[in-house]
Amino acid sequence: MADRCSGEATHSLAGWMTADIDVVFLSPAAAAAPPHYFTLAPPHAAKPRPVFMRDPHLPALPPTLRCTWLAHARGEPAEPRVRAWAAAELGCPPGALRLTRDAHGRPQLDAPADFDLSWSHSGDGLLVALGEGVEVGIDLERARPRPRALELARRFFHPAEAAWLATLPAIAREPAFLRLWCAKEAVLKAHGRGIAFGLHRFELREESLPLEGVQLAIVAGDAELRGPWSLREWVPCEGYFAALAWRAR
């Protein structure tokens, strides 16, 4: 597997739930999560299990949902790399992809039909997600100090999220803020309106799930958000936060 900080690695979403991928929260130590990443204790039984996808309690995951981490030079346009990767995944020339933007600026794959594409770059990384039969959104954030995290949360987030952040010690508050921001952006990219929809119009809450481990989940939301939504967060590379959201079309 390539070094995610300097090279390229592609994984199916199904692979994230097994022992061979080191970014899943089933194994927080292997995920190299930043200190104080979790505010809930990870489940005691959260250990790699090679047959996880066969567990009947695991929610069904789209088998064609894929993502990749690509090295990305700052200031370099992302779209050519995105187009090249997506074309390779779909087995067609890059020029055959009809990639447009809707009235809200959301990228859309007009051809091939029934596929959706999302990407995000931050620091030296570029994350790309491709899905069939779903609307997908991905977000990547590089960890850096956010001294105004609580102020921003009180201004833009759901009140319950801001209240939760206020209960955390400062050392845990900034990673929690970034996780919320990253997950919200992923959801709103998939939704199509982006942050113009309003970060406050749905609530995320940290839940300790028996299979997935500690994850943020949508627990309340505006009717216009529609759903149901699936959400995963992980650490693709040390010093970065990532989130992937999707819903069936």
Q: What is the per-residue DSSP string for 120-167?
A: EEETTEEEEEEEESEEEEEEEEE----TTHHHHHHHHS-HHHHHHHHH
User: For residue range 130-170, what is the model confidence (pLDDT) as tens digits?
Assistant: 999 999 999 999 988 888 999 999 999 999 999 999 999 98
CA distances from 158 to 131, 194, 209 (A): 29, 16, 22
Distance CA 183, CA 129 (A): 14
User: For residue range 66-108, what is the model confidence (pLDDT) as tens digits?
Assistant: 888 888 888 899 999 999 999 999 999 888 888 888 888 888 8
- Tell me if residue 20 falls in helix, strand or coil: coil
Distance CA 226, CA 247 (A): 9
Distance CA 235, CA 143 (A): 11
228 DSSP assignment: -
**Structural contact between residues 26 and 48, judged by C-beta atoms closer than 8 angstroms:** yes
User: For residue range 178-199, what is the model confidence (pLDDT) as tens digits?
Assistant: 999 999 999 999 988 777 788 8
Which secondary-structure segment (H or E) carries 189?
Answer: helix 170-191
Ordered by where they begin, the domains of the chain are 9-248 (3.90.470.20)
pTM across the whole model: 0.77
Helices and strands per DSSP (H, E), number in the chain = 5, 11
CA distances from 184 to 103, 153, 190, 218, 221 (A): 21, 12, 10, 9, 12
